[in-house]
């Protein structure tokens, strides 16, 4: 019997609040982001989830989100593996820019393509396809074996690193993934079949 896989995007960051492209830059959580992370932990505890291992990125907003969730779960000492393979996608020249200013400079349509398309990268940055090239192999070789061994696994990462993993798990096409939004601090709970396909998916957004 496989374990449970829980994916959580970090709580609101200071740059999310300021409407800035973040990427590999490293702002902290806002007060709202801290509360979102704590709330995610409380939701997981309410569903009696106890984790065997956790994974997160090399960026502090994801790491702090994980720490706050584990405090709510009473699992502060849980084994945690950090890897930049789970980092947000690199926004290149857009990092640090206000999204509204970027729209004024390059146009609404172009910025939307950079943000949501599958294979069009922003200048100097990664597309979602590029992001998948590092997140999915890491997921398949490191995280998935734990789940298939029956472990309950918690992953705290980022909007696009998680979009890329969800694209694979949910078997979304490049066209379908453009509409996939992952909210901050909302746990996505997967149960997998023995052949690694998705048996069930729950979204703890209440």
Q: pLDDT tens digit string along 56-112? A: 999 999 999 999 999 999 999 999 999 999 999 999 999 999 999 999 999 999 999
Helix (H, G, I), strand (E, B) or coil at 24: coil
Residue 204: pLDDT band (50, 70, 90) is very high
Residue ranges of the alpha helices (H) in 20-107?
31-46, 60-73, 99-106
Across the range 186-191, mean pLDDT stands at 98
Q: What integer pLDDT is reported at residue 116 of this predicted model?
A: 87
Residue 181 has a CB neighbour count (10 Å cut-off) of 8
| pTM of the complete model | 0.95
Q: Which residues are catalytic?
A: 10, 88
The token pair at 183 is 């909210």
Distance, CA of 137 to CA of 142 (rounded, Å): 8
Domains in the chain, number = 1
Residue 180 sits in a domain of what CATH number?
Answer: 3.40.50.1240
Distance, CA of 74 to CA of 167 (rounded, Å): 31
Name the nearest CA neighbour of 136 among 157, 159, 162, 154.
162
Q: 73: domain range?
A: 4-203
pLDDT digits (tens, 9 = 90+) for 6-35: 999 999 999 999 999 999 999 999 999 999
pLDDT digits (tens, 9 = 90+) for 158-173: 999 999 999 999 999 9
């Amino acid at each position: 019997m496989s374990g449970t896989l829980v994916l959580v995007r970090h709580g609101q960051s200071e740059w999310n609040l300021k409407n800035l492209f973040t990427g590999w830059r490293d702002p902290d959580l806002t007060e709202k982001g801290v509360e979102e992370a704590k709330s995610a932990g409380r939701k997981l505890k309410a569903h009696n989830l106890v984790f065997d291992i956790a994974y997160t990125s090399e960026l502090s907003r994801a790491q702090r989100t994980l720490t706050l969730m584990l405090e709510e779960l009473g699992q502060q000492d849980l084994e945690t593996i950090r890897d930049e393979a789970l980092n947000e996608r690199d926004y290149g020249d857009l990092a640090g820019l206000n999204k509204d200013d970027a729209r004024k400079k390059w146009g609404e349509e172009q910025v939307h393509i950079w943000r949501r398309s599958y294979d069009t990268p922003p200048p100097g940055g990664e597309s979602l396809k590029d992001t998948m090239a590092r997140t999915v192999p890491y997921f398949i070789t490191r995280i998935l074996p734990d789940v298939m061994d029956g472990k309950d696994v918690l992953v705290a990462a980022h909007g696009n690193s998680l979009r890329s993993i969800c694209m694979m798990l949910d078997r979304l096409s490049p066209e379908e993934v453009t509409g996939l939004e992952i909210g901050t601090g909302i746990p996505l709970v997967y149960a997998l079949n023995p052949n690694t396909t998705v048996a069930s998916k729950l979204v703890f957004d209440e």
